Amino acid sequence: MELKLTPKHLLLLLAGWTFALSAAAQWQWIGKDGRKVFSDRPPPTDIQDKDILKQPGGRGRAKAPVAATEPAEGAAPVAAATAAPAAKANTPKISGKDAELEAKKKKLDEEEARKKKAEEEKVAQAKAANCEQAKKGLATFQSGVRVATTNAKGEREIMDDNARAAESKRVQAIVDRDCN
């Protein structure tokens, strides 16, 4: 099969290349937050021309020339000294930290610490309540008063000395655990 390049094919090939080149149109600039922004649309009007790094069609903006450390012959030394701070002022300042992200993280940490403290207070209150109940129960067992319990059938039974001693031991363990 032989490929013939006719004017019709040449026109279609040219149209295809035109669409491909227009799809590659890309803008690139430095935003107000110091980050590079890539878009297929032009930057907002508040972005200065010096911050536009690339335009569609391959017309990139040249970066500001860096001043030499030593002035050339006949050049005023003051001009070189003032150009260096101006060049530094135009460069975006990148701190490596996102202030908004740091603030959110700090807020989340504070919220987590507050929840943890509230949970600890709740546990401490429950322990205090258990301690009071256990002390009252232990006082009852040590007083010698007859203690009745309800069995599985719902009948009242008076505790014998062995059951009383076992229950007193269990309550004493609760007092030791929660009241210290």
Residue 125 is predicted with a pLDDT of: 92
> Looking at per-residue confidence, does 148 or 24 come out higher?
148
Segments of the chain assigned E as strands = 27-30, 36-39, 52-54, 148-150, 156-158
pLDDT band at residue 7 under the 50/70/90 scheme: confident
- Collapsing DSSP to helix, strand or coil, 155 comes out as coil
Predicted confidence (pLDDT) per residue in 110-140, tens digit? 999 999 999 999 999 998 999 999 999 889 8
Q: Of 47, 132, 51, 36, give the one whose Cα is nearest residue 90.
A: 51
- In angstroms, the CA 154 to CA 162 distance is 21
The pTM of the full predicted model, rounded to 2 decimals, is 0.39
Predicted confidence (pLDDT) per residue in 19-49, tens digit? 666 556 688 989 888 898 888 888 888 888 8
CB-neighbour burial class of residue 134 (10 A; exposed 0-12, middle 13-18, buried 19+)? buried
Contact 61, 28 (CB under 8 A): no
Residue 89 is predicted with a pLDDT of: 57
